[in-house]
Amino acid sequence: MPHTDAEYKLALKAFKKKIKHAQLEEDSKLGRSPLSGTKARILSVQPPTGHGREIWRELAEKGHLIHDGGGFYSLAPEHKSNEA
């Protein structure tokens, strides 16, 4: 059964929020010096639960996400500028 545009929008918003949260968590780890100048960049995450696997596959087919394999996805380049 195809998903509605509202479901796609909600799932994509949840995905962007998960990437942002993962990046904040990585940046706040102990042992990482803020003076070192290098930051780890979170590029790919497992999508949030609650939406089903098929919606992530469909978002990848539509070009919003990139399937990196192993259940991991990343944002497509045109969506990375809208991430913040």
| CA 53 – CA 46 distance, rounded (Å) | 10
Per DSSP, the three-state class of 59 is helix
At 84 the pLDDT is 45
Helix 53-61 / helix 5-27 crossing angle, nearest 10 deg = 100
The single-letter code of the amino acid at 28 is S
- Between strands 72-75 and 65-69, the pairing is antiparallel
Q: Is residue 34 part of a domain?
A: no
The DSSP bridge partners found for residue 72 are 69
Q: Is residue 21 part of a domain?
A: yes
Domain enclosing residue 16, as ranges:
5-29+39-80
**Per-residue pLDDT tens digits of the chain, which is 84 residues long:** 678 999 999 999 999 999 999 988 888 877 666 666 667 788 899 999 999 999 999 999 999 999 999 999 999 987 665 554
What's the structural domain count of the chain? Answer: 1
Q: Is residue 48 part of a domain?
A: yes
